[in-house]
Amino acid sequence: MLEFIETTHGNGAPDCAVIWLHGLGADGHDFAGAVPQLALPENLCARFVFPHAPPRPITLNGGMVMRGWFDIAALTEGAVEDEEGMRHSAELVRALIAEQNEKGIATARIVLAGFSQGGALALYTALQYAGRLAGAAVLSAWLPAARSVLANVHEQNRALPIFCAHGAHDSMVPAVFAERSCGQLRAAGFAVRPRLWPVEHGVCAEELRALGAWLAQVLA
């Protein structure tokens, strides 16, 4: 089981959850402080779970060991992808979903979210999850192992609501990644388009408020 930190929002017991995955080299603390910036309504009682990815060597960074959801050889089109690592981490995320179920939160009231590599894993896991989720929020990320994932979308998530946001000036994960991924998703029947914000590889206040509005809608 992954270690994690959590926080809550609202004026009552949580009846929904957001599992938010951090980017490569960060940890669960990275976005824990962003919850107030979502400007969620007080009557939305949500639990936010921020897990820490296990440390692993990352090829892109010369084999340096850091927290990561899967290995990355290169951030270029056609690069070999670590699907074994994705499958392993997706299993860890599924365990977090099961834990929320045990705490009384239905799967249909759970959103998987993530930034950068965490957003890629959130999308990878959500599309193939054997149970209808409330949605997937993908920030500065991409659809990994696209051919494999789109061939194995679970029937219960073929209409999965997806929020996709990206920095227009991102030089680490260029916005074309989001545009290409959304195009692949639209071709598979998903209603999603990237929302671009005037930032580099990060998020801005306006983006977080837009995410909050989307969360309030899918978790209403």
Catalytic residues: 116, 170, 201
Residue 90 to residue 74: CA distance in whole angstroms: 21
Tokens of 94: 């599924």
3-state SS string for the chain: CCCEEEEEECCCCCCEEEEEECCCCCCHHHCHHHHHHHCCCCCCCEEEEEECCCEEEEHHHCCEEEECCCCECCCCCCCCECHHHHHHHHHHHHHHHHHHHHCCCCHHHEEEEEECHHHHHHHHHHHHCCCCCCEEEEECCCCCCHHHHHHCCCHHHCCCCEEEEEECCCCCCCHHHHHHHHHHHHHCCCCCCCEEECCCCCCCHHHHHHHHHHHHHHCC
